[in-house]
Amino acid sequence: MDICRTTLCATMSELWRERNARIFTGSFRDYKQVSLVVINEVKMRFHDMKLRVLDNRINREASSKIQASIVYKEKETRQCKWEPPPLDYIQLCADGSLTDEGGTSAGILRRHDGTVMMAYVRGAKGSTIGNIELEAIFWAKSKSAQIPWRL
């Protein structure tokens, strides 16, 4: 269960309830009262649950507010070794990442001897990791189209 999604749903529900109270009964609560109800609603949903969530700023702030029992997922580290392309070829290594803060794509073009011809990092517009990784490949291909390389 995602803390932020649950908080958003509780917020929308409480704002709608406040809107209806204002329209149909003429009663008003200030923003502090509405916020307190939202926090209590979210706390109630996560009471006695052991959550396993990504370790990021948003989840840390949210879990602190709702006092949830959180186990943060450890970041996985993978060892990679670069393998050179055949002679007269250029190798493109491209990747993308997608986080709560947005997407990023990056790539590096190397000759068979390992010398770097071009490297880039850029913001990505895609909304899925697959789209972002394709953006990384297409961007490098478009920038290198004028040069007679074999990718």
Query: Residue 121 pairs with which residues in a beta bridge?
Result: 106
Average confidence (pLDDT) over 89-116? 88
- The mean per-residue pLDDT over the stretch 79-84 comes to 85
For the cut 70, the answer to whether the pLDDT of residue 6 exceeds it is yes
Enumerate residues 6+ apart whose C-beta is below 8 A from 3: 42, 46, 51, 53, 58, 59, 62, 63, 66, 68
Whether the Cβ atoms of residue 14 and residue 38 lie closer than 8 Å to each other: yes
Poorest-confidence range of 63-67, 85-89, 102-106, 120-124? 63-67
Confidence of residue 106 (pLDDT cuts 50, 70, 90): very high
Residue type, 141: K
Q: Which two tokens stand for residue 77?
A: 């580290």
Cα dihedral across residues 74, 77, 78, 82: positive or negative: positive
Residue 104 scores a pLDDT above 80: yes
Angle, helices 31-46 vs 3-24, to 10°: value is 140
Residue 88 has pLDDT above 70, yes or no: yes
pTM of the predicted model as reported, rounded to 2 decimal places = 0.45
